[in-house]
């Protein structure tokens, strides 16, 4: 119990009871139990969070990342106090304002003004205090004109703006921001980011959840990575994001890989070899690379074409070529095993992970014997710092006029 901690989460686990199909009704409670009294099971357990233990120091900004279903929203609900942990304890020191789904608590039939006051009361603020803040809220949301209209007539952007304005302007000690920057136009987004920066400067504690890694990197002091309900990383943004990207990419590559073909020929094996002939999965930029393909043909294939391409992680093709374009005519792929080497003299690309695709098809491209897309990852190290995949030597010159 350190009073310096704004948030203390101690060994928290949260279990949900999954209702059997069809939901739970009084009828099923009575009828199903009577029908199946010997072995009825009302629900299954689902552990959304396990062994979650961390704290946030006052004035710190903690980013929370993780794939969908990793337990982020459950964790935020526990912090906001709407759910109670199954085991462990959550302590928040100070007023908490949460932006979980902006404007979700607004009632469509009430006017913007009424909703603002109601929301203030829900956050536990006095009417008088809200009255002082009211003009600032309306100004921030840029909606002086519509504040006395029922919110059901608002556009979704206005909804979100008002929600954000209320949550921020009520001046909480701890602000929880859940994936809200994805909405609103660019101007308002920047305004929100600026407001959050001011919030940090005032020494308030901030919790940010987002899938936008760029934003989260720039606002967070520390990042918490959740995976399958457990903390798999907690620390400086760079190192946690590195872990996250690595594990996310592994999964992403597996999802991107595609394979099809008629089956007359098959790409059995692909090996990346460096200059010494050693198998590698990572090379230095500018080095030579030999890719050894092992093909097996079920029957003799006349004039086959073998192709390859390199894509970045987003699936953009950076380079592609084949034996036809390279003026290398293969007359026949004989029945049985054939080894083909693709020689890349200088692989000069920016530091990243790239995906190789290979294909064996007929001369007229009509028949695809075997094609494997994005299945072979290769990491390239580049000591030169620059953005993007293409290295271009650049320099700067200047003179004072």
Residue 257: φ, ψ to 5°: -60, 135
Shortest separation between residue 68's beta carbon and other proteins, angstroms: 18
Q: Which is nearer to other proteins, 161 or 353 (CB)?
A: 161
Alpha-carbon separation of residue 90 from 95, 255, 277, 376 (angstroms): 14, 37, 56, 45
Binding flag, residue 121, other proteins (CB under 8 A): yes
Binding flag, residue 205, other proteins (CB under 8 A): no
Bridge partners (DSSP) listed for residue 310:
319, 356
Binding flag, residue 347, other proteins (CB under 8 A): no
Binding flag, residue 187, other proteins (CB under 8 A): no
Applying CB under 8 A, which of residues 27, 41, 201, 316 lies at the interface with other proteins?
27
Binding flag, residue 117, other proteins (CB under 8 A): yes
Binding flag, residue 101, other proteins (CB under 8 A): yes
Which residues, other chains included, contact 214 with Cβ-Cβ below 8 Å and sequence gap of 6+?
none
Applying CB under 8 A, which of residues 57, 67, 123, 253 lies at the interface with other proteins?
123
CB atoms within 10 A of CB 148: 10
Binding flag, residue 94, other proteins (CB under 8 A): no
Q: What single DSSP character describes residue 356?
A: E
Q: Which is nearer to other proteins, 172 or 307 (CB)?
A: 172
Which residues, other chains included, contact 305 with Cβ-Cβ below 8 Å and sequence gap of 6+?
322, 323, 324, 330, 360, 361, 362, 363, 365
Q: Which is nearer to other proteins, 100 or 360 (CB)?
A: 100
DSSP H helices in 81-235:
112-122, 127-141, 156-169, 186-201, 213-219
Burial (Cβ within 10 Å: 0-12, 13-18, ≥19) of residue 144:
exposed
Applying CB under 8 A, which of residues 11, 29, 238, 260 lies at the interface with other proteins?
29
Shortest separation between residue 217's beta carbon and other proteins, angstroms: 27
Considering CB under 8 A, how many residues would be counted as binding other proteins? 32
| DSSP codes, 203-249 | T-EEEEE-S-HHHHHHH-SEEEEEETTEEEEEE-HHHHHHHHHHHHH
Shortest separation between residue 152's beta carbon and other proteins, angstroms: 12
Shortest separation between residue 345's beta carbon and other proteins, angstroms: 59
Q: What single DSSP character describes residue 345?
A: S
CB atoms within 10 A of CB 277: 9
Q: Distance between CA atoms of 203 and 200, rounded to whole angstroms?
A: 5
Q: Which stretch binds other proteins (CB under 8 A): 105-113, 248-256, 277-285, 362-370?
A: 105-113
Q: Which is nearer to other proteins, 128 or 214 (CB)?
A: 128
Inter-residue contact 164 to 102 (CB < 8 Å): yes
Applying CB under 8 A, which of residues 57, 67, 83, 197 lies at the interface with other proteins?
83
Binding flag, residue 127, other proteins (CB under 8 A): yes
Binding flag, residue 13, other proteins (CB under 8 A): no
Q: Which stretch binds other proteins (CB under 8 A): 63-71, 102-110, 185-193, 241-249?
A: 102-110
Give the chain's end-to-end CA distance (angstroms, integer): 62
Q: List interacting residues with other proteins (CB under 8 A).
A: 16-17, 23-27, 29, 77, 80-84, 96, 98, 100-101, 104-105, 107, 109-110, 114, 117-118, 121-124, 126-127
């Amino acid at each position: 119990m350190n009073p310096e901690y704004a948030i203390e989460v101690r060994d928290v686990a949260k279990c949900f009871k999954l209702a059997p199909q069809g939901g739970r009704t009084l009828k099923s409670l009575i009828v199903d139990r009577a029908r199946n009294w010997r072995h009825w099971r009302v629900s299954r357990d689902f552990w959304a969070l396990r062994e979650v233990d961390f704290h946030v120091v006052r004035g710190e900004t903690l980013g929370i990342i993780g794939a969908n279903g990793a337990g982020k929203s459950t964790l935020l609900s526990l912090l906001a106090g709407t759910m109670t942990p199954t085991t462990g304890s959550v302590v928040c020191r100070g007023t908490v304002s949460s932006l979980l789904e902006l404007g979700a608590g607004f009632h469509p039939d009430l006017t913007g003004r009424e909703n603002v006051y109601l929301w203030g009361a829900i956050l536990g603020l006095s009417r008088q205090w809200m009255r002082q803040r009211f003009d600032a809220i309306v100004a921030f949301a840029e909606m002086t004109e519509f504040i006395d209209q029922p919110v059901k007539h608002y556009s979704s952007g206005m909804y979100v703006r008002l929600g954000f304005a209320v949550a921020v302007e009520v001046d909480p000690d701890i602000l929880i921001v859940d994936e809200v920057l994805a909405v609103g136009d660019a101007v308002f987004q920047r305004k929100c980011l600026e407001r959050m920066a001011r919030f940090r400067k005032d020494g308030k504690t901030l919790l940010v959840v987002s899938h936008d890694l760029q934003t989260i990197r720039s606002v967070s002091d520390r990042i918490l990575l959740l995976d399958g309900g457990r903390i798999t990383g907690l620390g400086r943004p760079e190192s946690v994001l590195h872990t996250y990207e690595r594990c996310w990419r592994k999964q992403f590559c597996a999802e991107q890989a595609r394979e099809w073909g008629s089956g007359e020929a098959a790409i059995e094996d692909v090996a990346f070899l460096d200059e010494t002939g050693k198998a590698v999965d990572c090379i230095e930029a500018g080095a030579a690379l030999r890719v050894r393909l092992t093909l097996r043909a079920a029957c003799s294939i006349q004039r086959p074409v073998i192709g390859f391409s390199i894509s970045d992680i987003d699936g953009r093709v950076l380079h592609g070529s084949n034996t036809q374009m390279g003026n290398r005519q293969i007359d026949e792929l004989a029945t049985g095993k054939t080894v083909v080497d693709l020689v890349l003299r200088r692989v000069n690309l920016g530091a990243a992970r790239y995906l190789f695709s290979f294909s064996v098809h007929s001369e007229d491209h009509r028949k695809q014997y075997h094609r494997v897309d994005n299945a072979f990852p290769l990491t390239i190290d580049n000591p030169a710092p620059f953005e993007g995949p293409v290295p271009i030597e650049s320099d700067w010159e200047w003179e004072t006029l």
